[in-house]
Structure 1
């Protein structure tokens, strides 16, 4: 693998500022209720949580957009919410995070996707979800595509963040990818297994090891040879320019079209506290780096450093260019 200098990585980081990026996908409202447990309810054998903290953040594709904003880019989010209080809370949060929500449409026939987590100390007691997995209503989908077609004229990169909630349909997946290819801008995908094989002709897909095995249809095997065969199969299956498989403690493996051997990037995390949102950070930094002219292996190295930082934080976290620069020093 060609060595990537610290100087080059810092050049790429400094080019992040002001880059227009589009995120298309399923957004959700993550609602956290935190407290302490000191007794069991007399009504049922369940813990009583004395709440001392409650907050909302953007999840799914919304977290990808927030990651891009924190990195200094100008993210335009294309998605849907319901016409409800959750949708208003989510849009308000995103505005405050400097995310352009002009591409977020309201779908009257569905609720805003919400995941409510009740936590005692650092332990999750229960989670309950409000969601619809049906395709987005025709009018809302048309509004989203209209905004995308307008934004893609000046955007430098596109991320498709698929959580299987209906935003990314067979029809618009192809249209989105075709539009990016026509304008020669990178289009990278964080896949949902059900739609894995539909993302053909993309710049990159960033599955974790479990997603890669499930999406390929192969039975999981251990060893580097098995990993190489897996990456090459997915490359051919999707006719992708590259596949970046994230492998937790084993780092990342980058497969490029026309190259027999993958580039392996070793993990940089010193301490793993919470992996929540790490995949969002990886695809955000990786795609933004490509949008700034980075080569695939340069983008992989930079995103690996970012992931190493974010897994050392609690909750759905983000990372700043300054934090990445500090670990490069």
Structure 2
């Protein structure tokens, strides 16, 4: 026979109301809570998420929508969010959207049917209609690693403008003036490009629009883009890539075209993933404080779910330039 909430209450020696409060993360005395948790474990009782949803109670579940879990930075975000959520007793449902607006809408609809308590939308969620619908319905939502200006949503992201500015300044200090950028079509890349342009202007250099290239989110696309830049009439001596995956592709593109890195071409990434440390040569990049960002995003979402958040915030965490062997002085 299936264990019920009544069995748990009897085993713990508490009321059914107390068991319900523990299940729904409501305030209960420490001793009573421990008795209930011990009884649930002993009886192998698992609360019905669906039953909680149907009664309008919390399901202790977060929907985490991200673009591509194959990206090392995104994979690390997924792990950090999951670990932090588990500290609060929350489960995380992770969905990869491939930055496809139809997938984004479908996953959000599905998760709302499952009555998740809130959403974390990561790294360039594109479907603005879906976001607005969540806002209109007062669903708790946090944007993670996203620079889109939703005044009615809390955002936790790295200062992409500063990261782009510091990378460009690094190359300028090394004597480079033909500095290219390989970027993706998302808000984070646009902010990094904005920082790159500002650094060039502050140094009295012109902004070479012919050296700003947009790539799809694949290594194959970035490799083709980098090869195209290298075959241009006046090729760059340095390339800033807006993430480490693009930078590895640029390294491969240089190698295929017999261009030595860093002697003939300096290349940098962004994110400081494992890829940047294990590449040949190791990549100069910008470190993104993933653990700090993910912990803050989960903390703030839980506050919203529990009705504690008062005002929306835009939290910018600071990047850190990491200099390795893929960049050197322009000769």
| TM-score, normalised via structure 1 length | 0.35
| TM-score, normalised via structure 2 length | 0.34
Greater share of helix residues, 1 or 2? 2
